[in-house]
Structure 1
Amino acid sequence: MAKPVIAVFDVGKTNKKLFLIDENYRIVYERSARFVETKDEDGEPCENLESLRSSVYDSLHQVMQLKEYDIKAINFSTYGASFVYLDEAGKPLTPLYNYLKEYPEALKEEFYAKYGGEEQISLATASPILGSLNSGMQLYRLKKEKPEIFERVKWALHLPQYLSYLVTGKAVADITSIGCHTQLWDFNKKQYHDWVNEEGITTKFGVFTPADSSQETNFEGQKFEVGVGLHDSSAALIPYLANFNTPFVLLSTGTWCISLNPFNQEPLTAEELKQDCLCYMHYKGKAVKASRIFAGYEHEQQLKRIAQHFDRAAYLFKHLKFNPGLILKLANKIPENQNPQEEFSLNSAFPDRDLSLFQTAEEAYHQLIFDLVKQQIYSLKLILNAGVKRIFVDGGFGKNAIYMHLLATSIPDIEVYASSVSQATAIGTALAINDAWNSNPAPTDMIQLKYYSAIQRSLVS
């Protein structure tokens, strides 16, 4: 008998994946594609929208032929901050502009002068000023620079909702995309910000639809429940929300280390925004206070510097064991190790350290991690609130024993766990519409945890 599954498209910047996930949340099928980027009219690199569109149809068509699976539902998650502009016939009118594209300074100044200034907009929309990464600013730019195209835009859909549209033919808006660093959503009024209405943009968004809803759709003669699509950062949080009731913070570590606190709905302050705090949006429509630092990137850069200085291969550091004795030695050698970080910095203290201070590569690496953890604690404290009992660290640093021991030691009152859930974004995307396709409740054992106790506390307190 065919196994009931959900098909989940997980579209990252680099890898585009399609998963089939069974009712026990096991991934039973996976296929992956990578596309060559194309260029927009300014010669800037951008996603190949046509390749993406045909890949969705081709791969769906392919898995529908697999007799061993019975596809009950389809859902989508993608990176955020990217709009697809469609005409009346549902055809894209522009390339899928890259959110890293430089934003024109004059247009930026004109916008903030007109609508009350950077700080006021930032506070209301829980978005730091990020240029094109504030996707609402991309829409404003289109209206001002290409008014004739803007006039022809029937729908402006964030990328997850565009993929959903490809299957359903229905244009919808979703809070996890609209609410995440877009400058479109007023977190205090819980509606589109006034500027969005004034510029006549609201009508170009689809019908506001709950992120955990789906609709029955007939596609190539088969019926599926199809979700509205989710912003990937919000989707990755869902397995944790499904498995844990006690307040927690998820520290998602990669190039950026993002601390997500779904139990903190306090409005952002101007001071927090200056320190790179923002709000993501919980799939049930609640704010998720977040802070972030560029620590994964810095780790890679400084690791190369250490490896070069000591003539060692960088990969050898991946499996270094935690050495408490070295931390004690470093505390005597570098006096500021004994003080907590006094102020926010996007960079740790390590880039300015003279590597000849250290006798071995191992000693230098322990100091690098010590500096990164110190910076991480500062970033974490910006969004921590009373009641948070646990921190789950997923991604690269969760596998780094030195990092995990130092983190646990630095916050002895909170339980620290390395956590892993295979393909958290895809699993979360399936969980969002669990009731539409799965006759079972969500399983409670999908996250593997490894506890780190606050040992050697006296060494760094």
Structure 2
Amino acid sequence: MIHIAVDIGASSGRLVVGDIKNEKLEIKEIHRFANGFIKKDGMCFWDIEHLLNEILKGLEQAKNLGCEVCTLGIDTWATDYVLVDENGNRVQEVISYRDKRTEKTIEKVTAHLPQKTIYEKTGIQFLSFNTLYQLYEETPENLSKTKFIMTVPDYLGFCLTGIPVTEITNASATQLLNIHTGDFDEDLLALLGISRNQFPSLTYPGRNLGHLLRGRFPSFDLPITKVITVASHDTASAIAGSPGQGNNWAYVSSGTWSLIGIENEHPVITDLTRENNYTNEWGAFGTYRFLKNIMGMWIIQEVRRHLPKDFNFEQFVIEARKEKNGEQFIDFNEDRFLNPENMIEEIQQYCRETNQKVPQTAGELASCIFTSLAVMYAASIEQVEEMNGRAIEEIYIVGGGAQNDLINELTAQISGKTVYAGPFEATAIGNLLIQLIAEKEVKDLQAGRQLIRHSFNIKKYRPVNQKDAALLKKFKEIASRKETLKGMS
């Protein structure tokens, strides 16, 4: 049977067909489309109807290519949600996590429940756009009209099948699931004024959701499609599609965001993990993704948008190699970089505030960004080792950002670890892998990762000399200086 992954990120989406041939997983992109939030009346929204329509176009394309019967899995970004009324209609537009309405909401919520209490309940990192804080800012009127609150991929699956569910890998990122009870936390729901039955029942990766209701979409010629609930959080699918083996590897899922961490069998919830803002998101097949969010390729995408001359990402690498590494370091985890009016100006202002050389050219900006990200990766790996009591020997960088040779080289050099880059389509591959396991074409996750290693080209980067501790030290000094400036303001 043919399997199709619907993989939608913040800037684009794609449908990827996968099948096992000659003991290798072969994939082919059959449809790609643009995505992005829309600014309207001072707020940021997603065009959810556009996404649904593009999924149907991709399925029609699969039918045109000879696919009569298939399975389908959907993954997207996390934290955003759709409010659905009793008639199955949306209550309002789907607000983007990059909207500014939640900039100060963590402080509002933690005035009722302390951060320590919330973290001990959920094990989830504090990000201003978590669903917990978005729902806190919802109007009581909208919530009173709401029968179901669904994450974006669950809503798309609902549109296709008519069946509402709450898939756990995406649900855990809401910061509303109690990691000890395995269900939504009653205290957090009470704080939001939401009842438990407003969230559909929980389901897990690899479960059958239902069949596509083709009669709902008479203008499309669609294949017979079984929809399978995959790891619908795109990071969860990316980690499932990472080819690491053993217990001494870490991952960097590199796309719009960079997600850095390890796969655990149990959550790690301590004062130290809370202070360093590490998360324990639920993963596929009983795993936990112990990780930290770092702003990723969004930074260079926004710089590109504001430059007078257009550069592609390969050109940015070429220009960055002409510059001296380490001229600036920037903590891109600050909220100021989430959605500034002008990313170039924000970077330059940060450098002025920290008494660093101000980058001006495309090469200087790219070098600043790539070096800072690599240093942040290395610093995070150090923290992961410390908090888990486990040495990391290999780092697997997967996703579109894994094509950036310069970041891969810098990460190997600064961390002192061996870096493997690829597969670039790890999210779609992980999505497909879960479908293959559900259909019993692959035994389990371990066998699936062996299949991935056998099927795709993975590039290896070794540190040239020993670990470059000087760059890490400089970054920590600048981060400390920034904290001192914050305390004085």
TM-score range, shorter chain: 0.7 to 0.9
Q: What are the equivalent positions in structure 2 for 1:84-123 lying under 5 Å apart?
A: 84-103=82-101, 111-114=109-112, 116-123=113-120
> Could you tell me how far apart the structure 1 residues matched to 2:373 and 2:108 are?
38
The alpha-carbon deviation at position 89 of structure 1 amounts to 2.0
The residue that corresponds to 2:422 in the other structure is 420
The residue that corresponds to 2:341 in the other structure is none
Q: What are the equivalent positions in structure 2 for 1:186-197 lying under 5 Å apart?
A: 186-197=178-189
Instruction: Write the deviation string for residues 292-322 of structure 1: whole angstroms up to 9, x where unpaired.
Output: 33365667899999x99xxx99965624798
The alpha-carbon deviation at position 46 of structure 1 amounts to 0.7
The answer on 1:154 being equivalent to 2:150 is no
Q: What are the equivalent positions in structure 2 for 1:281-320 lying under 5 Å apart?
A: 281-294=282-295, 296=297, 318-319=317-318
Secondary structure of 2:455's counterpart equals coil
The answer on 1:236 being equivalent to 2:238 is yes
Instruction: Write the deviation string for residues 97-156 of structure 1: whole angstroms up to 9, x where unpaired.
Output: 111222368876554333x2233213432333333x2113333433xx233x32231211
Q: What are the equivalent positions in structure 2 for 1:423-442 lying under 5 Å apart?
A: 423-437=425-439, 439=441, 442=448
Secondary structure of 2:2's counterpart equals strand
Identity across the alignment (%): 18
Label 1:425 to 1:120 Cα distance change in 2 as closer, same or farther (>3 A). same
Number of residues of Structure 1 aligned to a counterpart in Structure 2:
430
Unaligned runs of 5+ in 2: 216-222, 335-346, 471-489
The alpha-carbon deviation at position 448 of structure 1 amounts to 2.6
The alpha-carbon deviation at position 67 of structure 1 amounts to 5.8
Label 1:51 to 1:20 Cα distance change in 2 as closer, same or farther (>3 A). same
Larger Rg: 1
The residue that corresponds to 1:185 in the other structure is 177
Label 1:67 to 1:55 Cα distance change in 2 as closer, same or farther (>3 A). closer
Unaligned runs of 5+ in 1: none
The alpha-carbon deviation at position 264 of structure 1 amounts to 7.0
Secondary structure of 1:130's counterpart equals coil
Instruction: Specify which of 18, 31, 47 is matched with residue 15 of structure 2.
Output: 18
Amino acid at match of 1:435: I
Amino acid at match of 2:464: I
The residue that corresponds to 1:224 in the other structure is 225
Instruction: Write the deviation string for residues 355-406 of structure 1: whole angstroms up to 9, x where unpaired.
Output: 599xx99999878765554433222222234153321123566445554344
Q: What are the equivalent positions in structure 2 for 1:43-442 lying under 5 Å apart?
A: 43-60=42-59, 62-63=60-61, 65-66=63-64, 68-103=66-101, 111-114=109-112, 116-131=113-128, 133-142=129-138, 145-147=139-141, 149-180=142-173, 182-198=174-190, 199-217=193-211, 219-220=213-214, 223-229=224-230, 230-240=232-242, 244-263=245-264, 265-294=266-295, 296=297, 318-319=317-318, 346=333, 352=354, 355=357, 372-384=373-385, 385=388, 386-395=390-399, 398-412=402-416, 414-417=417-420, 419-437=421-439, 439=441, 442=448
* Root-mean-square deviation (Å): 4.2
Label 1:299 to 1:58 Cα distance change in 2 as closer, same or farther (>3 A). closer
Instruction: Write the deviation string for residues 23-70 of structure 1: whole angstroms up to 9, x where unpaired.
Output: 343233511223685556x5413112233333334443x246426223
Instruction: Write the deviation string for residues 192-245 of structure 1: whole angstroms up to 9, x where unpaired.
Output: 22224534431011121111211442633765331125011111111126x634
TM superposition score normalised by structure 2: 0.73
Label 1:28 to 1:292 Cα distance change in 2 as closer, same or farther (>3 A). closer
Amino acid at match of 2:206: D
> Could you tell me how far apart the structure 2 residues matched to 1:68 and 1:313 are?
35
> Could you tell me how far apart the structure 2 residues matched to 1:96 and 1:365 are?
33
